[in-house]
Structure formats: structure tokens, C-alpha cells
């Protein structure tokens, strides 16, 4: 299977620091991209950093690891800026200090936590240095003032803190402080590969329950050697595309709200509901919870016949096309969204942003093509790529991706049921330490789950990467030199998950 890969850790000796550094540099400049970087403590006081990259060809996964001292390691941000937040996270969870890191602020823990609390580090390991406190970047200059927003925002939305430094109305710097939603998810995954882990993955980010649970279930299926049959894989992909449609649609409604275009807000709000109701018809839940079971899909999935689903999708598609065209062609919409919140292609490439954020800024990454699951192997949905990088580009990518998803759905639902069963690829052999990696393109971008598994097939370390974690810095870049009153529409154009980031 090209979306899941198993590495034998017994055969992968840690690299020398320079070689590991070169591996990460290559993800910044070469055709393979960084998928995940995380720490692990295989035995008390011994620390490894695992990095997985790939994507230059379908199903290509590369792996490297390095051993660090129990205290610190030299930062990799100088050769691979995309490791920036990964290193902050490693510091928070393990107390391993990335020396020379440009902005080592805590990502997970606020002032109320003990300064020596590092949840994934064993107490047997040598005591780490106390965590340093949070320091906001201070912008100096005549007339510079700060605006602090959050953690509780106006509106029904997750918590986060935004600190703007402005000259007049113009944003000079936006600092994003997160961690409010931190619930220790990764600490709850170790143990046997059971159904409870799937339920947990459904709650990594509630709006991406299908994406995360599908990444998680394939990983658990690789561990337990119970692959799903092609029909189950087809329904997973169908649910994933409807999840994409519902969220893209909701975001176009949210963008409409933020520019005061009430027609778009009302209709896209309604149509998003219709898409969620289709997920309910398939899985029994509006967000697709209950879709996945280890080795297949839920016994009551799908609750709707393919031909009925196709008819519903046809109606939805026609309406979305109407409303979307009206929205994107309206001059009053264009004037607010064009040129607003530009994320330059160079920034998107350097910081290795993913998903629709990247594809609106000319960075061509899509896990459905690069790490295709069985249902996407032959023909993934048409790739959408724009390069303007502004709010309008991100709106258009959503609109065009919805169209591509509708096209793909009508193809796969009309096609014959895929025959036979698939081989149990990526199966973890009985003995020895393994690293299993699973990738899926959620609606925001690529979701990466990785698990270190011991000889008894028990998970000892579980790492989740939500695309939001990769993309949050994009917002800071996009709003620079914009007026602060455009911040809501810029923020909504990314619509990143706080929960998926804070874990």
C-alpha cells in the first residue's frame, strides 16, 4: 500500500548528526518533503529523533534517525526551516533543547505548568533544564502599538492568542500563541492497537474525523495485519471527499461572513449542512465518526445506496456551482479578497507548507497523488494549483477542489465494485521494533500518523501531524502589511485547527 509504510528500526542504525542534518536539508531543497519529525525515548535516558520524508514518487518514503544527548541537540532550522515548530514540540514534550533555535517559545505548556514538566520524558532520565518562559517578539518604532486578541475570541471558535504589532492600521508582525487546546492526545495512544485508538483519532480535530481516523486505521491495520478490502477502502475515500466538500463549503460561507456577504454565508452554511447530512447517511454521524473499524468499515456503513448518494451529490453539486460562481464573480467580493493576505510561493516552499494553503501558493503537494490509498491509485481527483497566494486564491482552490471531488465521486460511485482483496502489504513482522507511517490527504492537507511498535505489536510512541501544525506560521506571513481589519478574512482563508495543532 502506497499510503502506509513500515520501517524496520532494528536495521536502521542512527545516523551521524551531520548525515541526519543533510537528510533534513534535502527535504528543504529536493523533491522529497518532510512528513514528520519527532522524538522518542526507547529506553530511560536514551533519546532518538525520527524523521520521515518522501513524496517525490508515489509511495516513496524515506527514513532517518539520530541519537541526541538527554539535554539538547543542535537546531536544524538553519538547514530546514520547516522543522521550526517540530523542534518546539520536541522541547515541550521531552525537554530536549534545540540549541540555536530562532524562537524557542513553548508550544504546549503555559505558565501554570511546572517548569520541569515534560510529559513524554521518563522520570528515570537525567533531569532536564527547566523550561524557559514565553517571550513575545517586541516590535519597536514610533507609533507601534500592540493589539492582543484571545484566547477567547468573538464567535464560536477554538481558543488561541494573537498578538498584533501595528503601525496605525497596518500589521507589522503577528505572533500566534497556541496550546490552549492541548489535551495530551499523544500520551493516550501507547498500548495495544485497539478500536479505542480509532475513537481517539476521530477527536484529534473534529472537522477532520474521517481524515484522521482513516490515517489511524490503516496504521493499525498494518500493525495487526488486517487490511481492509477494496470496497471498504472505496467508502473511506468517498467519505474523505465528502468531508472535503463539506469543509470547503463551510469555509466559503465563513469567508462570506467575514466580508459581510450574507448571501454566501447563508447558502454555503445551508449547503455545508447538506454535505454533513450525507456523511450522516453513510456513517451515522455528521462528521463521519463510526466510519472506520480495524480491518474495514462499520457494519452499518454505508447507510445509503451508491445510486441514492449519487443523486444527492448531483443536486448538491448544482447548487454549490450556482452559489460559488455568484460569490467568486461578485465585484464586491473580489475587491475584498484579491491581493489580501498574500502568501508568497517562496515562503510556502521554504517552510514546507502543505495542503490547500500550499496549492494556492504554487506548491504542488497532494498526498492523494503522492501517497495514494487504494481508491486513489489509478486516478486521484484532478490536481488544483494556483499561485496568487491571496485570500481569493485560497477561496478558488476550495471551489475548484470541490468540483474535482464531485467529478471523482461520480466516477467511483458509478464504477463497478473493485474485485478481490488486497495483499497485506506493510505488515509488521512478528518480532522487533518497527516504525509504521500512514499518510492521508485531509481537506486541509496531508495528515501524517506514525507509530513506534515494539516486538509484541504494542504502540510505544504515537506521533500525529495535522496539516494545521505545519501551516500556522503561514498566517503570520500572510497578514504582514495588511490592515488589521482584514485579519478575520485572512484567518478564515486558512481556517486552521487549534485542536489538531495543540493535540
Partner 1 sequence: MLESILKRASVGNVTVALPAGDLPSPFRGMPEVGEAFRTGGAAATCAKACATDAIDPEKRTIDLGRCVFCGLCEEACGGEGIRFSQNPRLPWGKRENLVLGGSDVSLAPASADLRSLLGRSLHLREVSAGGCNGCDLEAQALGNPIFDLQRFGIDFVASPRHADGLLVTGPVSKNMREALVKTYEAIAEPRIVIAIGACAASGGIFRGSYAVEDGVGNVLPVDLFIPGCPPHPLTLLYAILGFLGRSPEKIPRG
Out of 133, 191, 196, 455, which residue is the one contacting partner 1 (CB under 8 A)?
196
Residue 468 near partner 1 by CB under 8 A: no
In the set 173, 180, 339, 458, which binds partner 1 (CB under 8 A)?
180
Judged by CB under 8 A, does residue 40 bind partner 1? Answer: no
Using CB under 8 A, pick the residue from 203, 231, 383, 476 that binds partner 1.
203
- For residue 130, state whether it binds partner 1 (rule: CB under 8 A): no
Query: To the nearest whole angstrom, how small is the minimum distance from the Cβ of residue 380 to partner 1?
Result: 27
Cell numbers for 12: 536502521
Contacts of 209 (CB under 8 A, 6+ apart): 202, 203, 243, 285, 287, 288, 289, 291
Check binding of 81 to partner 1 (CB under 8 A).
Answer: no
14 in contact with partner 1 (CB under 8 A): no
Q: Does 479 bind partner 1 (CB under 8 A)?
A: no
Give yes or no for residue 199 binding partner 1 (CB under 8 A): yes
Tell me: does residue 190 bind partner 1 (CB under 8 A): no
**Residue 159 binds partner 1 (CB under 8 A):** yes
Residue 183 is a binding residue for partner 1 (CB under 8 A): yes
Judging by DSSP bridges, how do beta strands 161-167 and 170-177 pair with one another? antiparallel
**What are the helix and strand counts (H, E) for the chain?**
16, 14
Q: How many residues does the chain have?
A: 503
The residue from 13, 154, 416, 423 that contacts partner 1 (CB under 8 A) is 154
Shortest distance (Å) from residue 366 CB to partner 1? 24
Residue span binding partner 1 (CB under 8 A) among the ranges 2-10, 299-307, 385-393, 437-445: 299-307
Indicate the burial class of 413 (C-beta count within 10 angstroms; 0-12, 13-18, 19 or more). Answer: middle
**In the stretch 314-343, what mask flags binding to partner 1 with x, by CB under 8 A?**
--------xx--x-----------------
Computed from CA positions of residues 467, 174, 340, 493, in that sequence, does the dihedral angle turn out positive or negative?
Answer: positive
Q: Applying CB under 8 A, which part among 19-27, 74-82, 156-164, 358-366 lies near partner 1?
A: 156-164
Give the DSSP letter string of 18-39.
Answer: HHHHHHHHHHHHSSSEEEEEEE
Instruction: Give the contact letters, 207-226, x = binds to partner 1 (CB under 8 A), - = no.
Output: x-x-----------------
Q: Among 402, 442, 376, which residue's Cα sits nearest to residue 274?
A: 402
Q: In angstroms, how far is the first alpha carbon of the chain from the final one? A: 27
CB-count burial class (<10 Å; 0-12, 13-18, 19+) for 226: middle
CB 413 within 8 A of CB 386: no
By the rule CB under 8 A, 193 interacts with partner 1: no
CB closer to partner 1, 181 vs 491: 181
Burial class (CB in 10 A: 0-12, 13-18, 19+), 402: buried
- The phi and psi torsions of 333 (rounded to 5 degrees) equal -80, -45
| Using rule CB under 8 A, residue 185 touches partner 1 | yes
* Residue among 58 and 273 whose Cβ is closer to partner 1: 273
Contact set with partner 1 (CB under 8 A): 109-110, 112-113, 119, 151-152, 154-159, 179-185, 187-188, 194-196, 199-200, 202-207, 209, 263, 266-267, 269-270, 272-273, 276, 280-281, 283-287, 289-290, 298-301, 303, 322-323, 326, 497-499, 502
Amino acid at each position: 500500500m502506497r499510503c502506509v509504510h513500515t520501517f524496520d528500526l532494528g536495521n536502521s542504525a542512527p545516523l551521524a548528526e551531520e548525515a541526519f542534518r543533510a537528510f533534513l536539508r534535502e527535504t528543504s531543497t529536493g523533491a522529497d518533503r518532510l512528513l514528520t519529525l519527532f522524538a522518542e525515548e526507547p529506553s530511560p535516558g536514551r533519546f532518538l529523533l525520527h524523521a520521515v520524508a518522501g513524496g517525490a514518487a508515489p509511495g516513496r518514503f524515506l527514513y532517518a534517525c539520530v541519537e541526541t544527548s538527554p539535554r539538547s541537540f543542535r537546531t536544524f532550522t538553519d538547514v530546514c526551516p520547516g522543522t521550526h515548530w517540530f523542534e518546539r514540540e520536541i522541547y515541550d514534550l521531552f525537554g530536549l533543547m534545540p540549541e540555536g533555535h530562532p524562537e524557542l517559545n513553548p508550544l504546549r505548556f503555559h505558565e501554570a505548568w511546572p517548569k520541569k514538566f515534560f510529559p513524554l520524558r521518563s522520570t528515570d532520565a537525567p533531569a532536564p533544564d527547566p523550561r524557559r518562559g514565553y517571550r513575545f517578539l517586541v516590535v519597536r518604532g514610533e507609533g507601534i502599538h500592540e493589539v492582543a486578541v484571545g484566547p477567547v475570541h468573538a464567535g464560536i471558535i477554538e481558543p488561541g492568542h494573537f498578538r498584533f504589532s501595528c503601525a496605525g492600521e497596518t500589521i507589522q508582525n503577528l505572533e500566534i500563541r497556541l496550546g490552549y487546546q492541548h489535551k495530551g492526545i499523544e500520551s493516550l495512544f501507547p498500548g495495544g492497537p485497539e478500536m479505542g485508538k480509532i475513537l481517539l483519532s476521530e477527536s484529534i480535530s473534529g472537522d477532520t474525523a474521517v481524515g484522521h481516523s482513516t490515517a489511524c486505521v490503516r496504521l493499525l491495520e498494518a500493525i495487526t495485519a488486517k487490511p481492509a478490502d477494496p470496497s471498504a477502502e472505496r467508502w473511506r475515500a468517498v467519505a474523505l471527499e465528502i468531508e472535503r466538500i463539506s469543509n470547503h463549503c463551510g469555509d466559503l460561507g465563513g469567508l462570506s461572513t467575514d466580508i459581510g456577504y450574507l448571501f454566501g454565508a447563508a447558502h454555503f452554511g445551508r449547503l455545508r449542512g447538506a454535505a454533513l447530512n450525507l456523511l450522516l447517511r453513510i456513517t451515522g454521524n455528521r462528521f463521519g465518526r463510526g466510519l472506520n473499524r480495524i480491518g474495514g468499515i462499520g457494519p452499518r456503513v454505508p447507510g445509503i445506496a451508491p445510486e441514492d448518494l449519487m443523486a444527492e451529490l448531483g443536486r448538491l453539486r448544482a447548487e454549490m456551482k450556482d452559489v460559488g460562481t455568484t460569490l467568486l464573480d461578485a465585484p464586491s467580493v473580489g475587491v475584498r479578497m484579491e491581493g489580501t493576505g498574500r502568501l508568497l510561493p517562496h515562503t510556502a516552499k521554504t517552510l514546507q507548507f502543505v495542503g490547500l494553503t500550499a496549492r494556492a501558493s504554487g506548491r504542488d503537494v497532494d498526498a492523494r497523488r503522492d501517497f495514494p490509498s487504494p481508491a486513489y491509485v489509478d486516478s486521484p481527483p484532478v490536481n488544483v494549483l494556483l499561485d496568487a497566494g491571496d485570500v481569493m486564491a485560497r477561496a478558488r482552490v476550495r471551489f475548484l477542489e470541490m468540483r474535482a471531488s464531485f467529478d471523482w465521486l461520480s466516477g467511483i460511485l458509478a464504477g463497478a465494485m473493485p474485485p478481490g482483496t488486497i495483499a497485506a502489504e506493510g505488515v509488521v513482522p512478528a518480532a522487533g521494533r518497527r516504525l509504521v507511517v500512514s499518510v492521508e490527504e485531509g481537506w486541509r492537507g496531508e495528515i501524517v500518523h506514525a507509530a513506534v511498535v515494539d516486538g509484541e505489536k504494542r504502540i510505544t510512541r504515537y506521533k500525529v501531524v495535522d496539516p494545521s501544525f505545519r501551516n500556522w506560521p503561514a498566517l503570520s506571513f500572510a497578514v504582514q502589511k495588511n490592515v488589521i481589519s482584514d485579519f478575520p478574512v485572512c484567518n478564515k482563508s486558512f481556517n486552521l485547527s487549534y485542536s489538531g495543532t495543540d493535540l
